[in-house]
Structure 1
Protein backbone atom coordinates (compact mmCIF):
# COMPACT_ATOMS: atom_id res chain seq x y z
CA UNK A 1 0.00 0.00 0.00
CA UNK A 2 2.86 2.39 0.76
CA UNK A 3 4.19 1.91 -2.77
CA UNK A 4 0.78 2.70 -4.26
CA UNK A 5 0.43 5.89 -2.23
CA UNK A 6 3.95 6.97 -3.15
CA UNK A 7 3.26 6.30 -6.83
CA UNK A 8 0.06 8.32 -6.68
CA UNK A 9 1.80 11.19 -4.91
CA UNK A 10 4.58 11.10 -7.46
CA UNK A 11 2.06 11.11 -10.30
CA UNK A 12 0.18 14.07 -8.79
CA UNK A 13 3.43 15.93 -8.27
CA UNK A 14 4.50 15.26 -11.89
CA UNK A 15 1.16 16.48 -13.24
CA UNK A 16 1.31 19.57 -11.03
CA UNK A 17 4.84 20.30 -12.22
CA UNK A 18 3.80 19.96 -15.88
CA UNK A 19 0.82 22.28 -15.43
CA UNK A 20 2.96 24.86 -13.64
CA UNK A 21 5.65 24.62 -16.31
CA UNK A 22 3.13 25.04 -19.10
CA UNK A 23 1.63 28.11 -17.41
CA UNK A 24 5.05 29.68 -16.91
CA UNK A 25 6.02 28.95 -20.52
CA UNK A 26 2.82 30.55 -21.81
CA UNK A 27 3.44 33.65 -19.69
CA UNK A 28 7.03 33.91 -20.85
CA UNK A 29 6.02 33.47 -24.48
CA UNK A 30 3.43 36.25 -24.29
CA UNK A 31 5.91 38.53 -22.51
CA UNK A 32 8.43 37.91 -25.29
CA UNK A 33 5.91 39.06 -27.91
CA UNK A 34 5.81 42.56 -26.43
CA UNK A 35 8.45 44.73 -28.08
CA UNK A 36 7.53 47.91 -26.22
CA UNK A 37 7.13 46.83 -22.58
CA UNK A 38 7.32 50.42 -21.20
CA UNK A 39 4.52 51.38 -23.61
CA UNK A 40 2.43 48.42 -22.50
CA UNK A 41 2.95 49.37 -18.85
CA UNK A 42 1.84 52.95 -19.62
CA UNK A 43 -1.18 51.69 -21.59
CA UNK A 44 -2.20 49.25 -18.86
CA UNK A 45 -1.94 51.98 -16.20
CA UNK A 46 -3.55 54.90 -18.03
CA UNK A 47 -5.43 53.78 -21.14
CA UNK A 48 -6.83 50.30 -20.52
CA UNK A 49 -9.46 51.58 -18.10
CA UNK A 50 -11.38 52.86 -21.15
CA UNK A 51 -9.82 51.06 -24.12
CA UNK A 52 -9.58 47.75 -22.21
CA UNK A 53 -6.64 45.33 -22.09
CA UNK A 54 -4.93 44.91 -25.43
CA UNK A 55 -6.84 47.90 -26.83
CA UNK A 56 -9.97 45.87 -27.63
CA UNK A 57 -12.23 48.86 -26.89
CA UNK A 58 -15.43 49.30 -24.92
CA UNK A 59 -18.74 49.51 -26.80
CA UNK A 60 -20.21 52.99 -26.84
CA UNK A 61 -17.32 54.53 -24.92
CA UNK A 62 -13.79 53.95 -26.23
CA UNK A 63 -12.98 52.57 -29.68
CA UNK A 64 -10.79 49.54 -30.28
CA UNK A 65 -7.16 50.35 -31.01
CA UNK A 66 -6.39 47.08 -32.75
CA UNK A 67 -6.50 48.26 -36.38
CA UNK A 68 -6.33 51.97 -37.17
CA UNK A 69 -3.20 52.98 -35.21
CA UNK A 70 -1.10 50.54 -37.23
CA UNK A 71 -2.51 51.87 -40.47
CA UNK A 72 -2.17 55.50 -39.39
CA UNK A 73 1.47 55.07 -38.43
CA UNK A 74 2.48 54.32 -42.02
CA UNK A 75 1.86 57.88 -43.27
CA UNK A 76 2.46 61.46 -42.15
CA UNK A 77 -1.18 62.51 -41.57
CA UNK A 78 -1.91 59.38 -39.60
CA UNK A 79 1.20 59.78 -37.46
CA UNK A 80 0.21 63.37 -36.76
CA UNK A 81 -3.27 62.19 -35.75
CA UNK A 82 -1.92 59.63 -33.30
CA UNK A 83 0.45 62.15 -31.73
CA UNK A 84 -2.16 64.89 -31.51
CA UNK A 85 -4.64 62.48 -29.95
CA UNK A 86 -2.37 61.43 -27.09
CA UNK A 87 -1.11 64.98 -26.54
CA UNK A 88 -4.42 66.86 -26.73
CA UNK A 89 -7.10 64.26 -26.16
CA UNK A 90 -10.10 63.87 -28.43
CA UNK A 91 -13.83 64.09 -28.01
CA UNK A 92 -16.93 63.74 -30.08
CA UNK A 93 -18.72 60.87 -31.73
CA UNK A 94 -16.74 58.64 -34.07
CA UNK A 95 -17.73 55.51 -35.98
CA UNK A 96 -15.56 52.46 -36.48
CA UNK A 97 -16.87 49.41 -38.32
CA UNK A 98 -20.53 50.43 -37.93
CA UNK A 99 -20.20 51.09 -34.19
CA UNK A 100 -20.43 54.53 -32.64
CA UNK A 101 -18.25 55.75 -29.80
CA UNK A 102 -18.91 58.95 -27.92
CA UNK A 103 -16.17 59.66 -25.47
CA UNK A 104 -13.91 62.33 -24.15
CA UNK A 105 -10.36 61.09 -24.20
CA UNK A 106 -8.17 63.11 -21.86
CA UNK A 107 -4.97 64.85 -22.84
CA UNK A 108 -1.73 63.18 -21.84
CA UNK A 109 0.32 66.32 -22.51
CA UNK A 110 1.79 66.18 -18.99
CA UNK A 111 3.49 62.86 -19.78
CA UNK A 112 7.02 62.71 -21.14
CA UNK A 113 7.76 62.58 -24.86
CA UNK A 114 9.46 59.23 -24.31
CA UNK A 115 6.42 57.75 -22.51
CA UNK A 116 4.08 58.89 -25.27
CA UNK A 117 6.37 57.54 -28.01
CA UNK A 118 6.52 54.22 -26.13
CA UNK A 119 2.75 53.91 -25.78
CA UNK A 120 2.25 54.75 -29.46
CA UNK A 121 4.84 52.14 -30.42
CA UNK A 122 3.14 49.57 -28.21
CA UNK A 123 -0.16 50.24 -29.99
CA UNK A 124 1.34 50.21 -33.47
CA UNK A 125 3.73 47.29 -33.20
CA UNK A 126 2.44 45.10 -30.37
CA UNK A 127 -1.33 45.54 -30.59
CA UNK A 128 -1.80 46.08 -34.35
CA UNK A 129 -1.08 43.39 -36.91
CA UNK A 130 -1.34 45.84 -39.84
CA UNK A 131 1.62 48.16 -39.53
CA UNK A 132 3.52 47.56 -42.76
CA UNK A 133 5.58 50.59 -43.66
CA UNK A 134 5.35 52.10 -40.18
CA UNK A 135 8.45 53.25 -38.40
CA UNK A 136 8.72 53.59 -34.63
CA UNK A 137 7.73 56.87 -33.01
CA UNK A 138 10.52 58.81 -31.34
CA UNK A 139 10.49 61.18 -28.39
CA UNK A 140 11.71 63.91 -30.78
CA UNK A 141 8.68 63.35 -33.03
CA UNK A 142 6.30 63.68 -30.08
CA UNK A 143 8.17 66.80 -28.90
CA UNK A 144 7.73 68.41 -32.33
CA UNK A 145 3.98 67.70 -32.25
CA UNK A 146 3.67 69.51 -28.91
CA UNK A 147 3.90 72.80 -30.83
CA UNK A 148 0.48 72.05 -32.37
CA UNK A 149 -2.03 73.08 -29.71
CA UNK A 150 -5.54 71.77 -30.33
CA UNK A 151 -8.54 70.99 -28.22
CA UNK A 152 -10.23 67.61 -28.35
CA UNK A 153 -12.84 68.75 -30.89
CA UNK A 154 -10.14 69.99 -33.27
CA UNK A 155 -8.30 66.68 -32.94
CA UNK A 156 -11.58 64.92 -33.76
CA UNK A 157 -11.96 67.10 -36.89
CA UNK A 158 -8.38 66.31 -37.95
CA UNK A 159 -9.26 62.61 -37.73
CA UNK A 160 -11.26 62.96 -40.97
CA UNK A 161 -8.08 64.09 -42.77
CA UNK A 162 -6.16 61.15 -41.31
CA UNK A 163 -8.86 58.68 -42.36
CA UNK A 164 -8.73 59.96 -45.94
CA UNK A 165 -4.95 59.57 -45.90
CA UNK A 166 -5.36 55.83 -45.35
CA UNK A 167 -8.17 55.46 -47.87
CA UNK A 168 -11.14 55.41 -45.51
Structure 2
Protein backbone atom coordinates (compact mmCIF):
# COMPACT_ATOMS: atom_id res chain seq x y z
CA UNK A 1 0.00 0.00 0.00
CA UNK A 2 1.07 3.53 -0.56
CA UNK A 3 2.17 5.50 2.51
CA UNK A 4 -0.63 8.05 2.03
CA UNK A 5 -3.26 5.28 2.02
CA UNK A 6 -1.79 3.74 5.17
CA UNK A 7 -1.77 7.12 6.94
CA UNK A 8 -5.37 7.77 5.90
CA UNK A 9 -6.49 4.34 7.13
CA UNK A 10 -4.67 4.88 10.43
CA UNK A 11 -6.30 8.28 10.87
CA UNK A 12 -9.73 6.81 10.13
CA UNK A 13 -9.18 4.02 12.67
CA UNK A 14 -8.07 6.56 15.28
CA UNK A 15 -11.06 8.77 14.58
CA UNK A 16 -13.50 5.86 14.78
CA UNK A 17 -11.94 4.69 18.03
CA UNK A 18 -12.04 8.21 19.46
CA UNK A 19 -15.69 8.70 18.55
CA UNK A 20 -16.64 5.33 20.02
CA UNK A 21 -14.93 6.23 23.28
CA UNK A 22 -16.94 9.45 23.48
CA UNK A 23 -20.22 7.69 22.66
CA UNK A 24 -20.59 10.09 19.75
CA UNK A 25 -22.78 9.51 16.72
CA UNK A 26 -20.84 10.61 13.65
CA UNK A 27 -22.69 11.95 10.64
CA UNK A 28 -19.68 13.42 8.81
CA UNK A 29 -17.22 10.52 8.70
CA UNK A 30 -15.05 12.07 5.97
CA UNK A 31 -14.74 15.20 8.11
CA UNK A 32 -13.95 13.10 11.16
CA UNK A 33 -11.17 11.35 9.26
CA UNK A 34 -9.61 14.62 8.09
CA UNK A 35 -10.02 16.09 11.57
CA UNK A 36 -8.22 13.08 13.05
CA UNK A 37 -5.37 13.42 10.56
CA UNK A 38 -4.99 17.22 10.56
CA UNK A 39 -6.68 18.85 13.56
CA UNK A 40 -6.65 16.38 16.45
CA UNK A 41 -2.91 16.77 16.97
CA UNK A 42 -3.67 20.15 18.58
CA UNK A 43 -7.41 20.14 19.28
CA UNK A 44 -7.32 16.49 20.47
CA UNK A 45 -9.76 13.67 19.73
CA UNK A 46 -13.33 14.80 20.11
CA UNK A 47 -12.24 18.45 19.86
CA UNK A 48 -11.62 18.70 23.61
CA UNK A 49 -8.61 21.02 23.16
CA UNK A 50 -5.31 21.31 25.05
CA UNK A 51 -4.99 23.69 27.98
CA UNK A 52 -2.95 26.75 27.05
CA UNK A 53 -2.46 25.65 23.44
CA UNK A 54 -5.54 24.78 21.40
CA UNK A 55 -9.09 25.67 22.42
CA UNK A 56 -11.88 23.12 22.58
CA UNK A 57 -14.15 22.99 19.56
CA UNK A 58 -17.17 21.57 21.36
CA UNK A 59 -19.19 24.71 22.03
CA UNK A 60 -18.40 27.89 20.10
CA UNK A 61 -18.35 26.53 16.52
CA UNK A 62 -21.95 25.38 16.88
CA UNK A 63 -22.96 28.90 17.92
CA UNK A 64 -20.86 30.47 15.14
CA UNK A 65 -22.36 28.32 12.40
CA UNK A 66 -25.87 29.59 13.12
CA UNK A 67 -24.99 33.15 12.02
CA UNK A 68 -23.64 34.54 8.72
CA UNK A 69 -20.74 36.31 10.47
CA UNK A 70 -19.92 33.16 12.42
CA UNK A 71 -19.91 31.04 9.27
CA UNK A 72 -17.56 33.54 7.66
CA UNK A 73 -15.32 33.34 10.75
CA UNK A 74 -15.15 29.55 10.63
CA UNK A 75 -14.33 29.46 6.92
CA UNK A 76 -11.75 32.26 7.29
CA UNK A 77 -10.10 30.42 10.17
CA UNK A 78 -9.62 27.12 8.32
CA UNK A 79 -8.54 28.87 5.10
CA UNK A 80 -6.22 31.54 6.55
CA UNK A 81 -5.23 30.30 9.98
CA UNK A 82 -5.32 32.42 13.10
CA UNK A 83 -2.89 33.40 15.81
CA UNK A 84 -3.03 35.30 19.05
CA UNK A 85 -4.42 34.96 22.52
CA UNK A 86 -8.08 33.99 22.80
CA UNK A 87 -10.42 33.07 25.63
CA UNK A 88 -12.87 30.17 25.47
CA UNK A 89 -15.08 29.32 28.44
CA UNK A 90 -12.92 31.31 30.88
CA UNK A 91 -9.65 29.69 29.74
CA UNK A 92 -6.94 31.43 27.76
CA UNK A 93 -5.16 29.95 24.76
CA UNK A 94 -2.25 31.36 22.80
CA UNK A 95 -2.49 29.34 19.65
CA UNK A 96 -1.09 29.65 16.17
CA UNK A 97 -3.44 27.74 13.92
CA UNK A 98 -2.04 27.12 10.46
CA UNK A 99 -3.93 27.64 7.24
CA UNK A 100 -5.53 24.54 5.77
CA UNK A 101 -6.13 26.15 2.37
CA UNK A 102 -4.26 23.27 0.74
CA UNK A 103 -7.24 21.01 1.48
CA UNK A 104 -10.03 20.86 -1.07
CA UNK A 105 -13.26 22.79 -0.61
CA UNK A 106 -15.06 19.47 -0.07
CA UNK A 107 -12.61 18.38 2.64
CA UNK A 108 -12.89 21.69 4.47
CA UNK A 109 -16.69 21.66 4.30
CA UNK A 110 -16.73 18.12 5.72
CA UNK A 111 -14.35 19.06 8.56
CA UNK A 112 -16.45 22.09 9.47
CA UNK A 113 -19.61 19.98 9.37
CA UNK A 114 -17.99 17.37 11.61
CA UNK A 115 -16.96 20.06 14.10
CA UNK A 116 -20.31 21.89 14.04
CA UNK A 117 -22.72 18.97 13.93
CA UNK A 118 -20.84 16.02 15.43
CA UNK A 119 -18.74 17.74 18.11
CA UNK A 120 -21.28 20.42 19.11
CA UNK A 121 -24.61 19.34 20.58
CA UNK A 122 -26.02 22.85 20.19
CA UNK A 123 -25.88 24.39 16.73
CA UNK A 124 -29.25 26.11 16.49
CA UNK A 125 -30.58 26.42 12.98
CA UNK A 126 -27.16 26.08 11.34
CA UNK A 127 -27.10 24.54 7.91
CA UNK A 128 -24.28 22.32 6.68
CA UNK A 129 -21.29 23.93 5.01
CA UNK A 130 -20.90 23.28 1.29
CA UNK A 131 -17.90 23.13 -1.00
CA UNK A 132 -19.36 26.12 -2.87
CA UNK A 133 -19.36 28.14 0.37
CA UNK A 134 -15.70 27.34 0.94
CA UNK A 135 -14.84 28.15 -2.67
CA UNK A 136 -16.48 31.58 -2.29
CA UNK A 137 -14.65 32.14 1.01
CA UNK A 138 -11.30 31.66 -0.74
CA UNK A 139 -11.89 35.02 -2.47
CA UNK A 140 -11.91 36.81 0.91
CA UNK A 141 -8.21 36.60 1.69
CA UNK A 142 -7.22 37.62 5.21
CA UNK A 143 -4.06 37.22 7.17
CA UNK A 144 -4.10 35.29 10.43
CA UNK A 145 -4.08 38.46 12.56
CA UNK A 146 -7.16 39.81 10.74
CA UNK A 147 -8.93 36.49 11.37
CA UNK A 148 -8.05 36.89 15.06
CA UNK A 149 -9.42 40.45 15.13
CA UNK A 150 -12.68 39.42 13.45
CA UNK A 151 -13.07 36.61 15.99
CA UNK A 152 -12.92 39.16 18.83
CA UNK A 153 -15.74 41.16 17.23
CA UNK A 154 -17.81 38.01 16.64
CA UNK A 155 -17.48 36.60 20.15
CA UNK A 156 -18.47 39.97 21.62
CA UNK A 157 -21.54 40.18 19.36
CA UNK A 158 -22.56 36.63 20.36
CA UNK A 159 -22.00 37.33 24.05
CA UNK A 160 -19.30 34.69 24.39
TM range (shorter): 0.7 to 0.9
2:33 alignment partner in structure 1: 41
Name the SS for the 1:94 alignment partner: strand
2:9 alignment partner in structure 1: none
Measured in 2, the distance between the counterparts of 1:125 and 1:166 equals 19
Seen in structure 2, the aligned counterparts of structure 1 residues 165 and 76 have a Cα distance that, compared at 3 Å, is: farther
Measured in 2, the distance between the counterparts of 1:139 and 1:56 equals 26
Q: How does 1:5-154 map to 2 (within 5 A)?
A: 33-154=25-146
Measured in 2, the distance between the counterparts of 1:108 and 1:43 equals 11
Name the SS for the 1:47 alignment partner: helix
Aligned-pair CA distance for 1:108:
0.4
Name the SS for the 1:149 alignment partner: coil
Q: How large is the Cα RMSD of the aligned pairs?
A: 1.7
Name the SS for the 1:124 alignment partner: helix
1:20 alignment partner in structure 2: none
Question: Which one has the largest radius of gyration?
Answer: 1
The TM-score with structure 1 as length reference comes to 0.80
In structure 2, runs of 5+ residues without a counterpart are 1-18
2:154 alignment partner in structure 1: 162
Aligned-pair CA distance for 1:63:
0.1
The TM-score with structure 2 as length reference comes to 0.84
